[in-house]
Structures are given as C-alpha cells and as structure tokens.
Amino acid sequence: MYGVRKVLGIDGGYKGFYAKNTITLTPKFVDDIHKRGGTILGTSRGGHDSVKIVDRIQDRGINQVYIIGGDGTHKGAAVIFEEIRRRGLKVAVAGIPKTIDNDIPVIDKSFGFDTAVEEAQRAIKAAHVESESIGNGIGLVKLMGRYCGFIAMYATLASRDVDCCLIPESPFYLEGKGGLYEYIGKQLKQNGHMVIVIAEGAGQELLSESLQSVDQQDASGNKLLQDVGLWISHKIKEHFAKKKMPINLKYIDPTYMIRAIPSIASDNVYCTLLAHGAVHGAMAGYTGFTVGPVNGRHAYIPFNRIIEKQNKVVITDRMWARLLSSTNQPSFLKPRDIAEAKKEKYPANGILDGKIVKTMSMN
Ligand SMILES: Nc1ncnc2c1ncn2[C@@H]1O[C@H](COP(=O)(O)OP(=O)(O)O)[C@@H](O)[C@H]1O
Ligand SMILES: O=P(O)(O)OC[C@H]1O[C@](O)(COP(=O)(O)O)[C@@H](O)[C@@H]1O
C-alpha cells in the first residue's frame, strides 16, 4: 500500500540494534508467526544505550522504528525518540503496547493480556478440580504481574471458582481478625475446599520481612521477586499444622506456560488493529506516539503520557469491588490504605474548589 521495499527486524531487544545482525522480514517469513508463542525476533532485558541505538538507526538508513513491548520498552522508546529529535533526523518512532501484564497506562488494554487471562483459566480450573477432590483441599495458583494484578483480577472474575485473589496493589496480612488464615479456616469449614490466586508481586513486603531478602533487580531495573507462591504455601501449611487442622494444598505455577502460548483470536485481531494504526500513523507523519484504544477509539498517544505512570488496579474502583463481592474475601484494608489509594487516584489536580471531582464510568 505504501510501497515499502525493506522491513528489518531487530534481533534481541534494544541491544540487538548494536550487538546483533538484523533479520529481513518478508511477508513469507512472518506468514505464520501469529500461530506461535514467544517472539521470532528474540527479547532481552537491559542493554538500552540510546546513543549506540540511534547511531545504528542512522547507519542503516532506517526511517521508521516500531518498538514493541511493555512499560519499560516505552520508556526506552521515549529516550530514543528524544535522541532522534536532538539529532534532527527524519525518523518516525512508534510504540506498540505488548505485555501480558497490562501495565501500560491510558490505553484500554495491552496486546497479550486477554490471552493470558484466557490461559490462566486452565490453571484455575485445575486448582479447583484438585481442591474439590480431597478433604480440606486448597488450590493455589500463581499468576504473573510484577507490579500490578490485572491478570489475577480478570482471571478471578472470569472463573468464579476463586475464593481469594491477592494482588500487589492490595496489601494483605496473614494473622488475626480479618487476616488470610482466618478466612481460609472459615472457607474450609464451610465448603471443604478453596482456590487462591496470587499475583507474583503480591505480599512482597511480607516476604522480605520474613526472609530478610535484599533488594535485587534484573538488567532492566525491575524488582527481582521471591517466589510468593512457594512462600505462602509454606506459611499456610505451617499455620494449619500448628492448629492441628489437616489441609491439602496443591500449588500450581503456570506463569511461563501462560506467557508462552500463541495469542487467542481476539488478541490476533487486536494486534492487526495496532499494527495498522502504527503504520498509518507513521506514514501520516506522526512520531513519538504509542498506538492503542482509549475508551474504545483507537488513538495516537504521545510517549510522555504513556511513560508518566504505570497502570495499576485501583482498589477503590468498581472493578476491585466487583471482585471482592464475587469472592467474598476480606478486603484486608485499613482506613489508611483506602485514604492512600484515593490519594493516588485523585491527585492534587483532581481537586476543584476543595472537592474531589468524580467522573462516572463503568470501569
Ligand atoms: N527508563 C528507561 N530508559 C531506557 N530504557 C529502559 C528504561 N526502562 C526500561 N528500559 C529498557 O526497555 C527494555 C524493556 O524493559 P523491561 O522492563 O525489561 O520490559 P517491559 O517492556 O515488558 O516492561 C529493556 O531493554 C530495558 O533496559
Ligand atoms: O522471568 P522473566 O523472563 O524476566 O519474566 C518475568 C516477568 O515478565 C512479565 O510477565 C512481563 O512480561 P511481558 O512484559 O513480556 O508480558 C512480568 O509479569 C514478569 O515479572
């Protein structure tokens, strides 16, 4: 349509610009890629050197750069865009929101998220079957979400088999009134079995207290997490052993199996819309933008709006309230937590004449 003669794929993430050879992408080469999981281009963490990256863009005569990834990738794309602007190059930079975590703000959702939620159903179903099959059975499923619990929240809401969903945005506690142990005891007495879903970033503050772990990061600067699933399995078993109440806990960690599957049909269609949107935007002369739907309308969003914050579950919003009412789990919230969550949702600019401005939405 636009008469493009050559499309290059950069192998291995940002460092691939300067550390590896490019891959020529032809229609034949990419014909079947939507039927596979993972990435034919390869991925990496760290290695973002904007000067070297833009040098290589210049050397190769590239005039449009499409960058695919999550919130870290978009921060990197914004830096590349600035460097290109500083050099006065005629190179368009477009971001395509791809991450199962759904942690990119402004847009309705990222590519890959629905696929992850769909595949998580299989693990939750298995946890339900296993827990139902044995006395005082607990099925525990860990899902991805380093900083946000969207996969856990939507997978829980979709399944209706989950009795408790724990996410990073909603701190919880184990002991005492309103705590997790009390709730588990109650559920087991009532139903004889239960399912718990935990996002990998949940309860990390409890883990560091009990394991006295040191803060570690991956090459991209992301927090390296302890396995909260293993830790909480151990704590629950220990607690009920002390109480002399026999339980049967089965821990399922499907995280990488979920991330590795090919995308589902709705994500395939979404991906097509993102790809078309990005190409039409760059061809129309836009640059420094991410493409994606905002309230259902596909839009071009400047990088600075995308990178200013991370998308998180707002625990004072309706969606989390819907989850709480579907699981009947305790909210684990103290008044202080609610005040803090509200402060985050309605920052200073949301206040007009001393009153909080609320917008009506079904989100
Ligand atoms: N603030 C930043 N500035 C420049 N590059 C960044 C920044 N944050 C992350 N990156 C780079 O973006 C890439 C992807 O980031 P990462 O956090 O690993 O994944 P994701 O895009 O899924 O969040 C990595 O190569 C990382 O070094
Ligand atoms: O162990 P790895 O490969 O660093 O990946 C783990 C992380 O990847 C994530 O799934 C994000 O992956 P994507 O951004 O590729 O969807 C996080 O939830 C998780 O913490």
pLDDT digits (tens, 9 = 90+) for 93-151: 999 999 999 999 999 999 999 999 999 999 999 999 999 999 999 999 999 999 999 99
Mean pLDDT in the chain?
Answer: 92
Catalytic residue among 71, 101, 103, 267: 101
Banded model confidence at residue 216, pLDDT cuts 50, 70, 90: confident
173-214: per-residue pLDDT in tens? 999 999 999 999 999 999 999 999 999 999 998 988 777 666
Joined tokens for residue 43: 């991925």
Q: State the Cα–Cα distance between residues 350 and 179, nearest whole angstrom.
A: 33
Q: State the Cα–Cα distance between residues 107 and 121, nearest whole angstrom.
A: 24
% of the chain beyond a pLDDT of 70:
92
Contact 175, 196 (CB under 8 A): no
Give the nearest ligand 2 atom to 100 CA.
16
Range 277-299 burial, b when 16+ CB lie within 10 A, else e: bbbbbbeeebbbbbbbbeeeebb
Burial level of 175, CB count in 10 A (0-12/13-18/19+)? exposed
Joined tokens for residue 21: 């050879």
Q: Nearest C-alpha to atom 14 of ligand 2 is from which residue?
A: 99
**Which of left, alpha, beta for 101 (phi over 0: left; psi -120 to 50: alpha)?**
alpha
Among this protein's residues, is 101 annotated catalytic?
Answer: yes
Q: How far is the CA of 357 from the centre of ligand 2 (A)?
A: 35
Backbone angles phi, psi at 163, to 5 degrees: -100, -15
Residue 210 has a pLDDT of 72
Any idea what DSSP says for residue 179?
A: S
Which domains does the chain carry?
8-110+262-307 (3.40.50.450), 117-261+313-332 (3.40.50.460)
Q: State the Cα–Cα distance between residues 299 and 305, nearest whole angstrom.
A: 13
Banded model confidence at residue 346, pLDDT cuts 50, 70, 90: low
Banded model confidence at residue 363, pLDDT cuts 50, 70, 90: very low
Residue 352 has a pLDDT of 42
Joined tokens for residue 269: 């269609």
Q: Would the pLDDT of 92 be above 70?
A: yes
User: What is this model's ipTM?
Assistant: 0.97
Name which residue leads in pLDDT, 77 or 209.
77
Q: Is 163 helix (H, G, I), strand (E, B) or coil?
A: coil
Q: How far is the CA of 46 from the centre of ligand 1 (A)?
A: 6
Burial level of 346, CB count in 10 A (0-12/13-18/19+)? middle
Mean pLDDT of 346-358: 46
Q: Nearest C-alpha to atom 3 of ligand 2 is from which residue?
A: 256
Q: State the Cα–Cα distance between residues 92 and 51, nearest whole angstrom.
A: 16
Q: Would the pLDDT of 360 be above 60?
A: no
